[in-house]
Amino acid sequence: MDDVACNHLQTLWEELEIYGFDLSWLKPHVQSALDMKTCVEKVLTMKRLEENVITLENDVTVLEKEIKNLTTKMIEAKVNLEITRRDLVQSKEGFEECDLDAQHLDVLLIIDVIFYVEHV
């Protein structure tokens, strides 16, 4: 029963009560019909909430997969960073062993600056 029918039944029931007829036998049926609107509203609310739960569960599943993928990428990046740092330290140790004059140091500094600018 929709809102219009429910309101119409309520109005009719109130009008009948005014005349003082003995409608005690009909009252439980009318009340049940009027309560049906509340029941239908509750069912619709439940269905809407169930749909929201399903949607949110799907969203959580997708986000958990994204977190897993990003965590894997982060671990790979950290491993690559550590390997590259070790390579850099070893590379620098090799250069420190060389006897370089000031001119060669300037060239190496320029190369470092260019490398840094290209990778930033």
Reported confidence tier of residue 24, pLDDT bands at 50, 70, 90: confident
CB 1 within 8 A of CB 36: yes
| pTM attached to this predicted model | 0.50
Range of the domain at 108: 3-119
Is the pLDDT at 90 greater than 60? The verdict is: yes
Distance CA 91, CA 109 (A): 14
Q: What's the total number of domains in the chain?
A: 1
The shares of helix, strand and coil residues in the chain, as percent rounded to the nearest 5, are 85, 0, 15
CB 81 within 8 A of CB 89: no
Of the ranges 13-22, 50-59, 86-95, 103-112, the best mean pLDDT one: 50-59
Reported confidence tier of residue 52, pLDDT bands at 50, 70, 90: very high
Q: What is the pLDDT of residue 71?
A: 94
Is the pLDDT at 120 greater than 70? The verdict is: no
